[in-house]
């Protein structure tokens, strides 16, 4: 149940002065471009309210600095004061009681005072019903829940919002400003890395009388921004304003990636997710998506800038689906130490970064080698600290150059190897991680034998098992693989025993939980499907599972397979394996 908070509006009347009479004009605040001036607005700070609907996600590498995704909630109301305008002035000596009475304005009519800003009509409220997967019991889903967020209409009968606003969606509805109708929406694409989703509505009525939002250029520091959306605190649209305070490569919490982002000082609260950020010309310069919650920080919000939004839209239009942001599959080291540069054969005028490791599955592994010095990327020189020129007086990480590319594009990489300068055309792609950040909306895979529940490890799995601070509470070996391990093949997975469903067949093994399966009957376990096939086809007398920490599980093959059916029946499990393992 959402909190219902309303603020009363008090109208201040202006008293007539006996000495002189002036024409008083109300100040005008422009949120976006409008054909005529708007009445002044008052915006008292609302009381801090706890969020009561949807989910608040707090994920960060630092427990004291938490960046939150903003999904769910309602909005605060704003009231407009009437525009007072006095009639002709009179000489002070001729002021009468009648004149004094005329100078006092009558009670205004709200129908004639309130005016709609065209761009704000394109901002919609997003209602989503989510059904998240159950990683602890992967054969079933969690109980569904609802959330509310924001979005806005763009060209081509499409709507933009955040990816986390419609994650694991079952149903999505949109409601326009001032309307009492909710329209069913279809999700066209979800960009996990950039936290953007593209929606559409089939009902023609939804698109009537609404002009799409136009995008503006990347703002500069101290440029004014206005965030519009439906945050917690009320039911109607809400507007907050601020300035651009920082621009750099940010960590996108939902996507577990690093892309260009804007930091603003406008308030961004739960429910603001997916709402547009306008500049002073009424053009959209970004999408609100997360904020920083820290005891020493206030009003720090983050916005997805137009270059990232444009990349997402063009990627969808080019491939008719979202393919993602390519990366270069290397780990690199700064070359700021003079002795290190000299040892690596760099001249005084040369700058760059050293390659520490290369992912074996990356296309770059065919041409690049460890200890190569990357001097430039696509003709742009890289500094010793890994930055490149961005705008006047600004530098940014060279990963920004990579993020401007599309999957399958090539880039010219200049390197220094053994004091020799070489150039290679590198094909950019998306690389699979050993522990993926997402499972792309699919249910988790699982396999059960003799009560042992085998599954694969992902970031959502770790978050489900160990909570928001999983990077501090999860087993050290799993965290080490999450942070540093590289896949040796494209189909490699990290398989673990997530739990043991207690039965007579597995006495003594009950305490095994979230432990990696290294091998089965002497053969390495490459992925979960490989393990399931080896178990199903096993004709040996015993099944031997070699686990991490040098543990071993031995089960009699015939007895274990017979006990599996009874265990499935006891726990109401429909199948011993997920559907993706049956094909």
Catalytic residues: 164, 195, 273
- Residue in the block written with tokens 């509310």: 148
Nearest alpha-carbon partner for 256 in 317, 189, 324: 324
Among 411, 351, 349, residue whose Cα is nearest residue 379: 411
DSSP3 helix / strand / coil % (the chain, rounded to 5): 20, 35, 50
Paired with 552 in beta bridges are 546
CA dist 424 and 375 (Å) reads 12
Is residue 162 a contact partner of residue 286, using CB atoms and an 8 Å limit? no
d(CA 422, CA 324) in angstroms, rounded, equals: 29
Distances (CA, A) of 424 to 55, 99, 137, 379: 46, 85, 48, 12
φ, ψ for residue 167, nearest 5 deg: -65, 135
Start-to-end CA distance of the chain, whole Å, equals 44
Sequential DSSP letters for 480-540:
HHHHH---SSTT---EEEEEE---GGGTT-TT--SEEEEEETTEE--SHHHHHHHHHT--S
């Amino acid at each position: 149940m959402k909190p219902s908070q309303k603020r009363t509006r008090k109208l201040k009347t202006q008293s007539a002065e006996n000495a002189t009479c002036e024409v008083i004009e109300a100040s005008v605040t422009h949120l976006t471009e409008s054909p005529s001036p708007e009445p002044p607005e008052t915006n008292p700070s609302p009381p801090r309210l706890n969020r009561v609907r949807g989910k608040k996600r707090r994920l960060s590498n630092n427990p004291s600095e938490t960046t939150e995704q903003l999904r769910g909630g309602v909005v605060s109301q704003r009231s407009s004061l009437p525009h007072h305008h006095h009639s002709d002035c009179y000489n002070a000596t001729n002021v009468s009681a009648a004149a004094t009475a005329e100078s006092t304005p009558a009670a205004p009519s709200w129908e004639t005072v309130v005016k709609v800003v065209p761009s704000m009509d394109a901002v919609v409220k997003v209602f989503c019903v989510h059904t998240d997967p159950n990683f602890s019991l992967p054969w079933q889903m969690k109980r569904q829940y609802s959330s509310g967020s924001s979005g806005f209409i763009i060209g081509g009968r499409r709507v933009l919002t955040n990816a986390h606003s419609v994650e694991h969606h079952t149903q999505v509805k949109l409601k326009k400003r001032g309307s009492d109708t909710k329209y069913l929406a279809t999700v066209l694409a979800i960009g996990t890395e950039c936290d953007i989703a593209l929606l559409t509505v089939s009902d023609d009525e939804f698109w009537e009388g609404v002009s799409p939002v136009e995008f503006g250029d990347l703002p500069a520091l101290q440029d004014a921004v206005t965030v519009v959306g439906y945050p917690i605190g009320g039911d109607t649209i809400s507007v907050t304003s601020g300035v651009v305070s920082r621009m750099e490569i940010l960590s996108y919490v939902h996507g577990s990636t690093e892309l260009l982002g804007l930091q603003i000082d406008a308030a961004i609260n739960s429910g603001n997710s997916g709402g547009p950020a306008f500049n002073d010309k009424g053009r959209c310069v970004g999408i609100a998506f997360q904020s920083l919650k820290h005891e020493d920080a206030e009003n720090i919000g983050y916005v997805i800038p137009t270059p990232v939004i444009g990349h997402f839209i063009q990627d969808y239009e080019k491939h008719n689906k979202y393919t993602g942001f390519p990366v270069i599959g290397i780990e690199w080291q700064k070359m700021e130490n003079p002795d290190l540069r000299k040892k690596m054969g760099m001249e005084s005028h040369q700058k760059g970064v050293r390659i520490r490791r290369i992912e074996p599955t990356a296309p770059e592994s065919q041409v690049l080698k460890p200890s190569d010095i990357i001097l430039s990327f696509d003709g742009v020189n890289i500094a010793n600290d890994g930055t490149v020129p961005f705008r006047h007086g600004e530098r940014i990480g060279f990963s920004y150059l990579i993020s401007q590319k599309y999957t399958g594009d090539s880039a010219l990489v200049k390197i220094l190897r053994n004091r020799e300068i070489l150039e290679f055309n590198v094909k950019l792609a998306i690389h699979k991680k050993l522990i993926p950040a997402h499972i792309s909306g699919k249910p988790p895979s699982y396999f059960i034998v003799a009560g042992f529940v085998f599954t694969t490890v992902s970031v959502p799995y770790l978050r489900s098992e160990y909570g928001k601070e999983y990077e501090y509470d999860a087993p050290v070996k799993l965290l080490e693989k999450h942070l540093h391990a590289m896949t040796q093949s494209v189909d490699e997975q990290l398989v673990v025993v997530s739990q043991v469903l207690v039965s007579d067949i597995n006495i003594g093994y009950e305490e095994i939980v979230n432990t990696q399966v290294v091998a089965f009957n002497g053969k390495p376990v490459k992925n979960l499907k490989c393990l399931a096939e080896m178990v199903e086809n096993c004709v040996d007398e015993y099944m031997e599972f070699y686990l991490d920490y040098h543990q071993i599980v031995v089960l009699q093959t015939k007895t274990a397979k017979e006990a599996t059916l009874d265990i499935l029946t006891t726990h109401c499990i429909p199948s011993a394996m997920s559907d993706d393992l049956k094909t």
